[in-house]
Structure 1
Amino acid sequence: MSEAPTPRSRRWVWWLLGAAIVLLGITLVVQQLLDPWLRRKLEQQVTTQTHGQYRLQVGALHTSLWQRAIRLSGLRLRPAATVADTLPRVQLDAAQLNVTGIGLLALLRKGVVPIDSVVLDSARIEVLALARKPTKNAGKPLYEQLPLKLKGLDIRYFGLLHTRANYQPSGAQAQPTARFRRADLSAQNLLISAAGAADSQRLGYAIGWNLLLQHAQGQAAGHQLAVARLTIATADHLIQLDSGRVQPLEAARTDQPRVDLLLPRLRLTGLQAAALQHQHRFRADSLLIQQPQVTAVLPANSSAGNSKSATDYLKSLDLAHLDVRGGYVRVQGAAANPIIHGLEVAGTAIHFDSVNAPNAQRIFFAKAWEVALGRSQATVAAHALALGSLQLSTSAGTFTLRSVRIRPPAPGQDKPGGLRVDLVLPSLALAGLDAKALQQKHFQAQSLVLDRPNLHFTPPV
């Protein structure tokens, strides 16, 4: 039989139980005092850091020392009547901000602080004006601008969920505007530190970013943009756009190009986003563009000016496959004024290098092209050209035109002394076409077949 506990052993049990109760009581008291102190400190810190130009109100703040967590609710950020030129004018309302798994020891040492998650939920952002001048820290990386002089933040999960935003500055109507009804942005393994900035496998300090943007609208450069849904998943190397539209504004300048674009779907896979950020090299597996409809109006007097192009940023471009399906293109204001229905384009192994000369083994930057046009028309030397269809295959070396019709210009519309051509051609077929020689302005083919051509021309006078 076991011996009964002695009075001395019972006293140790009571001492331990009493110590635990005292410790729990002290913890509860500290937490009751800590929460309102942290709430006031946070609100005062925002006022101090912005020199009184912003005011933060926190509806409630709760800490959990055991979970190393802080939960805030009812956040409200408001600017003063006027703010400095170096600060944007922003209003923010957020339902909740939850920070869990804070590394308290690293926080006290001001090192790289590990955090399990940072989640801002149900935020409403109104951007009334952007900063007009850069701050003194504008050139510094983000990890050198952290509060409390921390060396970094190592956040396992970062999320901005159910976010709505609106940017519509007051003043001239020509200013850019933007708004979206919902955005969900998240990052995995976000390391904001010197090591995170130097890691070429990271994009914006994170191993992966995910964005779901819905019902976004904006206007800039005389055009308005609408996006029904945009998905970006860098870890999955995917960008997908569903239902995008660009339309010119009625008050747009007539000396600038006007573009009307309807894009039901765009899907980019295999994108190496980190290589694009760190090396300025675009690499992807496939780009699919479904049923694009483009109408462009070029100004009568246009100049290239000093505008920068993508080649000023990109060092190289590698796209394994390009696929355009069911496109429609119309260009007004150009010499040819083309109208194209049923555009189909497939390009394989497309490569562009901004430094080295084009590879002679490629055909217009690609290993092979497959092109098909449906009913199309254009103007060539004042003559109206109409096509029933066009097909080109550089790999097979074939080129086919069907239902070709060239009409001469009406009297008085052609240039004096010009050749007038009237052609009806049911079909034209080329075989053995050397596309590589063609890009060097040398025409080489094995056979040319014209089906019942009917040609009339009037020589120049």
Structure 2
Amino acid sequence: MPTQATTAPAAIAPSPHRRWGRWLLVGLGLLVVGFALAIWLGLDPWLRRTLEKQVAQKTHGQYQLTISRLKTNLWARTLHLRGVALHPTPRPLADTLPRVQLRLARLDLSGVGLLALLRRQTVPVDSLTLDSLQVAVLALARRPAPHPTPPFYQQLPVRLGYLALRHAGGSWGPAAAPVAQLPSAEVVAHEVLFTSAGATDTQRLAFAAAWQVLLRYPRGQVGGHTLALAKARFSTQRKSLVLDSVSIEPPAPRQGKPGATQVALLLPHLRFTRLRAATWQHQHRFRADSLVVQQPRLAFRPPVVAPPPLWQLIAPLARRADISHLLINDAFMAITGLRHQPVARHIYAAGHAIRVDSLGGQADQGRVLYARNWTARSGRLTAVFQAPAYPASIERVALDTKAGTLRLTGLALRPVFSPAQLNQRSGHQTTQLRVYMTELRAQGLDFGLLSDHSHVRIARLTAESPWIGLSSDGRGPLGKRPSVITPEAMRKLHLHMEVGRLDLRNGTIATRYRGIETPRVGTLNINRLNATLRNVSNNPRHQTMTHPLTGSATAYVQGRSYLQVHLTAPLLDPEGRHHLWGSFGASPLSILNPMVTPTKLLAFKSGEVQRIAFDMQASRRGVAGTMWASYTDLKIEFFKYKEGELKKPLFTRLTNGLLNGLVIRDNNPRPSGRFVTGDMRTRREPRNSVFSAWRQGLISGGLHSVGVPQKMAQKLSQSQKTVPLP
């Protein structure tokens, strides 16, 4: 018992070590609580001051950052900023950074990996959301930084699961007159690897695995032009880029660079599909499966100096561009600033396997305008020649570069001025031209040669039902320039042309001529014209003296006399030598009266032709040849024009009697059986077309064959009596 009594108090007495342990735990608890309170009360202000101070230090005093509110939650690993503003200082010591103003309403950061941040490892972040960001780039840096720093992704690598930018906007240029503006933008990115590995990952675009971008109403100035669009949508998941309501406005009159390109464009819709945006970034190669352009309206003024090829123009953006299919739907295009004022409507075009680079632009790659093949069709095309004298139009156009075909339907050239008005405008005699053609078809057209070298090479060209009207007024002097409608003019043609075969089917040539004797107009028609020309070329390798142009034609003169003609012409002969021969069938000579009576005051009173054959050699100097005319009962009569009527006064009747009795052979061959030929000899007038030379030769041979002395026949055929302009 005594033993128990003495040992009990010692057993329950507290140990000194245990008392110190309790106080240690209490102290540590108080320390943790105090530290937590310090962090709770002082971390946010300290972090805000640190961020503002770091911006000033890192930019060498060029920028100032202000944050209205900063709140952290270490337990939730979140950071929230409100009222963030970044603006350049008024007078910075250095000027190595662009002048940028930034305002951000709110920033929310969640899921921050604090341990990785402290260890300076790649920081995982769940999401980053920026709301109401406004950025104004006032000016670029005037000089580079003296000590370039490594990229930011190397200084602070981040792995971000989700990035969102909402209600963003910005501008570029001075605040009073910005060069570019973006009122609204929405951006979303997924799986952003903001590291060196993410920068080189060829499957990522700008560090992210996926992007969605929506821009509204961006506007900017480029080369004096104003560019704007209503909406731009980009998605790497859908691999698409869509632009809505694109517009380009040219500089105002007397503004912009003189002689530079001017473009006015309205484009309702443009869409790229299967766009490889990551390839564009990492390989500097633009690739897309298709590009669809809807209803563009383009007015284009070409520059005075030809621009570089397209592949050089896009070189700063991509070293190569590949588009599998390009579709243009219902386009309108007008080329301004040219005398011809060409306009094309309702254009539908499709290009396949387009490759734009130095190799794709070479002629030997089997491409036309960088594409393997183009198919196109259009509505009405219009232009003006010798503006404003000759408006021209084509109702429809269709082409296929792979098949080498081109079809023009409904061609028309309609003169505005009468022949007399044309003479007055030019100061000399001018033939009025009017053309209608049902269709013009080209087969075997080398589009590559045409686009690369402006050389025309066609295997076969067919003109269906052409109607050509030639109207002239004989009052006024001849022009001073040589005619371009001659064989020798082919040598001076800048355009290289090679047409293997040219066919003209069921054509008509209607001529009208107002002479100097009377105000009446003479008419002569050649219809049911079918012609074929071969080797229509100015290529010296194909056009030679031994391999000239050859041709043949058949037609009816005034619908009665069958005409057959053959031609050989070495088009590059500087002397313009060529050979024309043919024949006229049976018909009354009176079919010529609608032309010769109003213009020459002459009529064939009677006469029946059985056959007329001719063989003509022509050159720049003149025409020589022989005519064989078989006819019977030839009688002619002359008239006088007085008081608006054709009359035969006494002296004229006496002259007609003497002429028919003493000069004109009324039959050929003669009753004795002797056949008289006529010499076709006439001087060539270089200011007239080759058709005038042929006509003069036929007239001189015809007059000589009926009995008119050769010198007189030659003089009459080339008579150039002129009167003043009306």
Q: TM-score range by the shorter chain?
A: 0.7 to 0.9
User: 2:291 aligned with 1:277, yes or no?
Assistant: no
2:104 to 80, 86, 94: 94
Report the more deviating stretch, 84-93 or 99-108: 84-93
Shift in Å, 1:429: 3.8
User: 2:397 aligned with 1:390, yes or no?
Assistant: yes
TM-score, normalised on structure 1?
A: 0.82
Shift in Å, 1:156: 1.9
Question: What is residue 233 of structure 1 aligned with on the other side?
Answer: 235
Q: Distance in 2 between matches of 1:262 and 1:162?
A: 27
Contact persistence 1:100–1:116 (CA under 8 A): yes
Q: Distance in 1 between matches of 2:194 and 2:392?
A: 59
Shift in Å, 1:189: 2.1
Question: What is residue 443 of structure 1 aligned with on the other side?
Answer: 458
Question: What is residue 566 of structure 2 aligned with on the other side?
Answer: none
Distance 1:438 1:225, change over 3 A: closer
1:51-86: per-residue Cα shift (whole Å, max 9, x none)? Answer: 333222211111111222111112122322224432
Distance 1:326 1:304, change over 3 A: closer
User: 2:73 aligned with 1:71, yes or no?
Assistant: no
Partner amino acid, structure 1, of 2:67: V
Partner amino acid, structure 1, of 2:162: Y
Distance 1:333 1:317, change over 3 A: same
User: 2:437 aligned with 1:425, yes or no?
Assistant: yes
Report matched runs for 1:278-297 at 5 Å: 278-297=282-301
Instruction: Say which SS state the counterpart of residue 458 (structure 2) adopts.
Output: coil
Q: Distance in 2 between matches of 1:303 and 1:432?
A: 29
Question: What is residue 330 of structure 1 aligned with on the other side?
Answer: 334
Shift in Å, 1:159: 2.5
Q: Distance in 2 between matches of 1:183 and 1:236?
A: 19
Distance 1:140 1:443, change over 3 A: farther
Q: Distance in 1 between matches of 2:365 and 2:165?
A: 48
Contact persistence 2:433–2:468 (CA under 8 A): no
Q: Distance in 1 between matches of 2:193 and 2:430?
A: 69
Shift in Å, 1:399: 3.0
Contact persistence 1:90–1:127 (CA under 8 A): yes
Contact persistence 1:405–1:424 (CA under 8 A): yes
User: 2:198 aligned with 1:188, yes or no?
Assistant: no
Partner amino acid, structure 2, of 1:443: I
Shift in Å, 1:242: 0.6
Shift in Å, 1:295: 1.1
User: 2:219 aligned with 1:217, yes or no?
Assistant: yes
Q: Distance in 2 between matches of 1:306 and 1:230?
A: 28
1:312-354: per-residue Cα shift (whole Å, max 9, x none)? Answer: 6544332111111111111112464321111111112223442
Distance 1:408 1:112, change over 3 A: same
Contact persistence 1:94–1:121 (CA under 8 A): yes
Distance 1:273 1:350, change over 3 A: same
User: 2:85 aligned with 1:80, yes or no?
Assistant: no
Report the more deviating stretch, 252-261 or 407-416: 407-416
Question: What is residue 379 of structure 2 aligned with on the other side?
Answer: 374
Q: Distance in 2 between matches of 1:72 and 1:429?
A: 71
Considering Cα pairs closer than 8 Å and 6+ residues apart, tell me whether 1 or 2 has the greater RCO. 1
Q: Distance in 2 between matches of 1:302 and 1:432?
A: 32
Question: What is residue 46 of structure 2 aligned with on the other side?
Answer: 37
1:253 to 253, 256, 259: 256
Contact persistence 1:372–1:392 (CA under 8 A): yes
User: 2:167 aligned with 1:153, yes or no?
Assistant: no
Q: Distance in 1 between matches of 2:249 and 2:467?
A: 42
Partner amino acid, structure 2, of 1:153: V
1:399-432: per-residue Cα shift (whole Å, max 9, x none)? Answer: 3212212357974888999997542112234567
TM-score, normalised on structure 2?
A: 0.54
User: 2:411 aligned with 1:404, yes or no?
Assistant: yes
Q: Distance in 1 between matches of 2:363 and 2:466?
A: 40
Report matched runs for 1:335-350 at 5 Å: 336-350=340-354
User: 2:148 aligned with 1:133, yes or no?
Assistant: no
Question: What is residue 117 of structure 2 aligned with on the other side?
Answer: 107
Partner amino acid, structure 1, of 2:325: H
Instruction: Say which SS state the counterpart of residue 459 (structure 2) adopts.
Output: coil
Instruction: Say which SS state the counterpart of residue 240 (structure 1) adopts.
Output: strand
Contact persistence 1:316–1:353 (CA under 8 A): yes
Q: Distance in 1 between matches of 2:285 and 2:363?
A: 16
Contact persistence 2:443–2:459 (CA under 8 A): no
Determine which structure has the larger helix proportion and give its number: 2
Partner amino acid, structure 2, of 1:444: A
Report the more deviating stretch, 256-265 or 335-344: 335-344
Partner amino acid, structure 1, of 2:185: A
User: 2:68 aligned with 1:59, yes or no?
Assistant: yes
Question: What is residue 680 of structure 2 aligned with on the other side?
Answer: none
Instruction: Say which SS state the counterpart of residue 44 (structure 1) adopts.
Output: helix
1:269-292: per-residue Cα shift (whole Å, max 9, x none)? Answer: 111112122222221011011111
Partner amino acid, structure 2, of 1:286: S
Distance 1:86 1:436, change over 3 A: closer
Q: CA RMSD in A?
A: 3.7
Shift in Å, 1:195: 1.4
Residues paired across the two proteins, number: 437
Shift in Å, 1:363: 4.5
1:139-171: per-residue Cα shift (whole Å, max 9, x none)? Answer: 854434x3xxx3x22222222211122334168
Distance 1:194 1:261, change over 3 A: same
Q: Distance in 2 between matches of 1:225 and 1:185?
A: 22
Contact persistence 2:444–2:458 (CA under 8 A): no
1:73-110: per-residue Cα shift (whole Å, max 9, x none)? Answer: 12122322224432223322211111112222221122
Instruction: Say which SS state the counterpart of residue 105 (structure 1) adopts.
Output: helix
User: 2:496 aligned with 1:454, yes or no?
Assistant: no
Structure 2 unaligned residues grouped into runs of 5+: 1-24, 473-482, 485-686, 688-726
